[in-house]
Chain A
Amino acid sequence: MKNLSPKTITVGLVVLALLLIFPMVVTQIFPLQIMILVFMYAMLGVAWNIMGGYAGMFSFGQAAFFGIGAYTSSFLLMTFHVNPWIGLIAGGVVAALVAAAIGYPCSNLRGHYFAIASIAFAEIVRVHFNNWTLMNAAEGISLPMLDESFVNFMFHTSKVPYYYIMLAFLILALIVCYFVATSKMGYYFRAIKESHDVAEVLGVNVVRYRLVAIMISAFLSAMAGTFYAQYVLYIDPESVMLLAISVQIVLLSMLGGAGSVMGPVIGAAVLIPIAEVTRVWLGHRGTGVDMLIYGFLITIISVYQPQGVWGLLSRIGNRIK
């Protein structure tokens, strides 16, 4: 991994500045809503990318970690009045522990088999929550209303604070991913992605490094889950643990470019607005139109540009240089 060039840093800072002033310029709720969802899915994509794009574990079960994060903080808030920020950390820790517990027996699964196991795992978690009375089962959890403040992680009059919090979360996830990608861990993840044999022959403890990748990914996904719960103030298994969420996360990461730090962000920026806009324009008649467009884009990408949009951009960038 090359170090960041001054040019990249400049572009990054400009984009960041634009994102920071965005809520001051655009005050309608809908664009803000879309941006928040873009950040959230981008973060989920970045989290997926650490285990899927770098370490080669194609998880179709990220919704489980997302949901566990949402449920942990919401349950703690509802039952024990635990501050959501503490719930955020607790959710991350619980998700990481669950990830380790399920990841360990899956240590030898690769490729499609890992993907199948991850779907099974996430569906088991979803069905379990659907029937778990302590967690209000299928009824879901309505979060108790707290006073509007940053400390309470709750804002009733404006979406802007959520916008900045989610942007900060995304940046945190990107920093984590960048450090993973450019460190020993990142090299080892990529060796594991190539094959377990090649990793082991270079002295990589495959089981341990795979667990580390899954746990980081689960922790970040769970953070996004807590954010979602605090943002919508209501969660049920069908809104935070659906297979469709997991699929969306994989699709946008692949579209943007798996195995590059910024790939999932690009993917989210392309796909999430399409999903939201078609939903609003076409209403219930348009259910699935976003999926049609996804399908089309994914086909195009996998045929012509397997490295995703990011791969395309960096190739164009190299040509200009």
Chain B
Amino acid sequence: MNKAICLDVKGMTKWFGGLAANQDIDFFIEEGEIVSIIGPNGAGKSTLFNCITGFYKPSSGKVSFFGRDIYRMRADKICKLGIARTFQVVQVISDMTVLENVVTGALLRFSTIGPATDKAIEILAFTGLIDKKSFLGTELTIADKKRLEVSMALATQPRLLMLDESMAGLTPVELRQIIDLIKKIRSQGMTLVIVEHVMEAVMEISDRVIVLNTGKKIMEGAPKEVCSSPEVIQAYLGDKYRVVC
């Protein structure tokens, strides 16, 4: 059975002056997949995220989301269509409580506070932050902030969730928790695109891996395939992965 194409990116190019941060990148995501995007710093992963989600205006290319053209669409409209994302530098509303933060996200699909709050509580229970719902955004640890950011993204009820380095800087225990959370989100039928440096996690959760280097896609394939590719090892992973894989 053929699955629906969730996200289809063709020829994505983004110039910053004379620098091509993304150059002619093609890929697609099927509904229900988890796809990781990896690559060294400066490879253009976050730029690609920003171009897809409307935070940057791409220089050229095509993006469609479930067949709908979203190329150069405004970020809030893309969110409304059903793409939610998190940021590499975690973004929460610092003078709101955890609950209020998630309610703000839920208000995209509700016009009044009551039902939005019900939805927010449901999501916080799902993501395991319910005990901290009265904490202020500023009072959270970095791991909880990332979890909150994911909760806010889920509250907008997306069909595609894009996580930008949700696992960076976490302890092994916290890492385990966020991997479990991602698996749980996936089991609800969500499609995910993940930018990640933590290879253990990438290997464990991804269906497919896309490798970027200096703005270009250099490889795409199953996790095993990717990390045994000499090109990827040379560009990004380093020699120790020759042994691991």
Q: Which residues of A contact B (CB under 8 A)?
A: 182-184, 187-188, 190-191, 194-195, 197-206, 259
C-alpha gap A58/B75 in the complex (Å): 24
Contact A198 B76 (CB under 8 A): no
Asked if B94 lies at the interface with its beta carbon under 8 angstroms from chain A, I say yes
A residues less than 8 Å from B100 (CB atoms): 187, 190
**A197 in contact with B107 given A202-B79, A205-B76 (CB within 8 Å):** no
B113 to chain A minimum Cβ distance, whole angstroms, is: 7
Band of interface residues on B: 20 to 34
**B194 CB within 8 Å of chain A:** no
- Of B87, B103, B107, the contact of A201 (CB 8 Å cutoff): B87
CB of B36 closer than 8 Å to a CB of A: no
Contacts of B86 in A (CB 8 A): 201
The reply to whether A203 and B96 form a contact with Cβ atoms under 8 Å apart is no
Given contacts A187-B104, A194-B95, contact A201 B84 (CB under 8 A): yes
Least CB separation from A259: chain B residue: B95
A-B contact pairs, 16 of them (CB 8 A): A187-B103, A190-B95, A190-B96, A191-B104, A194-B91, A194-B93, A194-B95, A200-B74, A201-B79, A201-B85, A201-B87, A202-B107, A203-B80, A203-B105, A203-B108, A259-B95
A203 and B79 contact, Cβ closer than 8 Å, known pairs A187-B100, A190-B104: yes
- Which chain A positions have C-beta within 8 A of B227? none
Counting from the closest, the 5 A-B pairs by CB-CB distance are A203-B79, A203-B108, A200-B75, A194-B93, A198-B91
Given A183-B113, A190-B96, A202 and B80 touching (CB < 8 A)?
A: no
A195–B107 touching, CB < 8 Å = no
**Is there an interface contact between A200 and B76, defined as CB atoms closer than 8 Å?**
yes
Which chain A residue lies CB-closest to B84? A201
| B112 interface residue per 8 A CB criterion | yes
Q: Output the least CB separation between B140 and chain A (Å).
A: 14
A201, B93: Cα distance in complex, Å: 12
User: Please, which residues of chain A bring their CB within 8 A of the CB of B79?
Assistant: 200-203
CB distance from A160 to the nearest CB of B (A): 40
A237 CB → nearest B CB, Å: 37
* Interface contacts beyond A182-B113, A194-B91, A198-B92: sample of 5 additional A-B pairs, CB < 8 Å, sorted by A: A190-B95, A190-B104, A197-B55, A197-B91, A203-B105
User: Could you tell me the distance between the alpha carbons of A200 and B226 in the complex, rounded to whole angstroms?
Assistant: 34
Partner of B104, one of A195, A197, A202: A202
Q: Considering the chains assembled together, what is the distance between the CA atoms of A184 and B113 in angstroms?
A: 7
- With a cutoff of 8 Å between Cβ atoms, the chain B residues found around residue A204 in the complex are 76
Q: Are A198 and B93 in contact (CB under 8 A)?
A: yes
A202→B113 contact, CB < 8 A: no
Cβ contact of B76, chosen from A190, A195, A203, A259, cutoff 8 A: A203
Mostly helix, strand, loop or mixed at chain A's interface?
helix
Q: Is the CB of A195 within 8 A of B111?
A: no
* B48 close to chain A: CB less than 8 A: no
Given the known A-B contacts A184-B111, A184-B112, are A201 and B104 also in contact in the complex, defined by CB atoms under 8 Å? no
Which chain B residue shows the least CB distance to A184?
A: B107
Docked CA distance A199–B55 (Å): 12
Which residues of the partner chain B approach A198 to less than 8 Å between Cβ atoms?
91-93
Instruction: Please indicate the chain B residues that have their CB under 8 angstroms from the CB of A201 in the complex.
Output: 53, 75, 79, 84-87, 91, 153
Q: Say yes or no: is B127 at the interface (Cβ < 8 Å to chain A).
A: no
List, in ascending order, chain B residues with CB within 8 A of A197's CB.
Answer: 55, 87, 91
B74 to chain A: closest CB distance in Å?
8
Q: Is B156 an interface residue when CB atoms closer than 8 A count as contact?
A: yes
Residues of B within 8 A of A194 (CB): 91-96
**What is the distance, in angstroms, from A196's C-beta to the closest C-beta of chain B?**
9
A187→B110 CA distance, assembly (Å): 12
* Chain A CB within 8 A of B152 CB: yes
> Which of A187, A202, A204, A259 lies at the interface centre, i.e. has the most chain B CB atoms within 10 A of its CB?
A202
Q: A187-B103, A191-B93 are in contact. Are A202 and B87 (CB under 8 A)?
A: no
How far is B116's CA from A216's CA once the two chains are assembled, in angstroms?
25
Name the residue among A187, A205, A206, A259 with the largest chain B CB count within 10 angstroms. A187
A54 to chain B, nearest CB (A): 11
CA distance A198 to B108 in the complex (A): 13
Q: Within 8 Å CB of A183, what residues of B?
A: 112-113
CB distance from A198 to the nearest CB of B (A): 4
Give the chain A neighbours of B152 by CB distance below 8 A. 202
In this complex, the member of B55, B75, B86 whose beta carbon has the largest number of chain A beta carbons within 10 angstroms is B75
A183 to B112, CA, bound (A): 7
Cα A2 to Cα B38 in complex, Å, equals 44
Q: With A and B bound together, what is the CA distance between A202 and B107 in angstroms?
A: 9
List residues of chain A with CB within 8 A of the CB of B54. 200
Instruction: Say which residue of B87, B91, B107 sits within 8 Å of A187 (CB atoms).
Output: B107
A205 to B75, CA, bound (A): 9
Q: Specify which chain A residues have a CB less than 8 angstroms from the CB of B107 in the assembled complex.
A: 184, 187-188, 202
- B191-208 with Cβ < 8 A to chain A: none
